[in-house]
Amino acid sequence: MEGLLRQPEWRIIDQSAVGIHFHALQSFGTDDTLCASVGAGEAPATARTWVHHNTVVLGIQDTRLPYLQEGIQFLKQEGYQVIVRNSGGLAVVLDEGVLNISLIFPEAEKGIDINRGYDVMWQLIQNMFADFPNQIEAREIVGSYCPGSYDLSIDGKKFAGISQRRLKKGVAVQIYLGVNGSGQKRAELVKQFYKLAKQAEQTKFAYPEIVPEVMASLSELLGRPFTIADVMLRLLNQLNANSDFLYAGQLNEYELGLFPGYYQRVIDRNEKIADMANKKG
């Protein structure tokens, strides 16, 4: 676990301060670009941080909801833009109090098994908040949105979820961290989305029954008003402790060549899904 976190060098691409000028679709195109680049040995292990304002990111399964258009309409009325991501999971809320971290590794000869990818992110978050006595658990929190076996929680309340994306010998382990704001309020938004998008219809897929009280932010759980910058500093300290060389960078020339193609794929996928939702509506 520590072995994967330990890299000869870590490049950090910090996009946490450009949220309002940076569309979430660009984020997923960027992570795919980084997977391909790191996997091809054209860049070192990379950590990317990003914040998006008032965006609900749906999973592929969410696009099969029988009344998807009604759900999307509600989110838009509440001031959220809606996109569909290309990694696993279900609907999550992003806003200025949620920090996203992507760790992109090269998949070496033996490969990185899925649990190992999840474990390294769990370990990183534990290390970042090791000065608090609170235990950070990784287990499914029933009643949360986008539930999974690696929900991160304190005292049974979820503050983060992890997903993975594998592409071209690169592995992106992605986490959304509820840093501040109300976890419960975010969960209430997603609960209402499912209520409107599913209604009383029977579906093959079991969508989560959301209990807003089981979600909170780190600020709420640790009793300290964290900012995104506070958490960024903790992340940088950990990356620095786990490498011989940590540096801030942007996309290199190779990646700038790849990005338009990967970004276009994300746009095309979202347009296709939007068309499906409109037909359903």
Q: What are the boundaries of each domain within the chain? A: 2-280
Instruction: Give the mean pLDDT of the chain.
Output: 92
Q: How confident is the model at residue 1 (pLDDT cuts 50, 70, 90)?
A: very low
Q: Average pLDDT of 40-54?
A: 96
The answer on pLDDT for 111 being more than 80 is: no
**Whats the size of the chain, residue-wise?**
281
Closest CA to 124 of 183, 181, 177, 52: 177
Q: Which of 146, 175, 183, 192 is nearest to 235 (CA)?
A: 175
In the predicted model, what is the mean pLDDT of residues 7-32? 88
Asked whether residue 2 carries a pLDDT value surpassing 60, the answer given is: no
What average pLDDT does the segment 108-119 reach? 81
Place of tokens 């190992």: 116
pLDDT for 157:
98
Name the residues annotated as catalytic: 146
Superfamily of domain 2-280: Bira Bifunctional Protein; Domain 2 (3.30.930.10)
pLDDT computed for residue 142 by the predictor: 96
- pLDDT tens string 217-231: 999 999 999 999 999
State the pLDDT at residue 60.
85
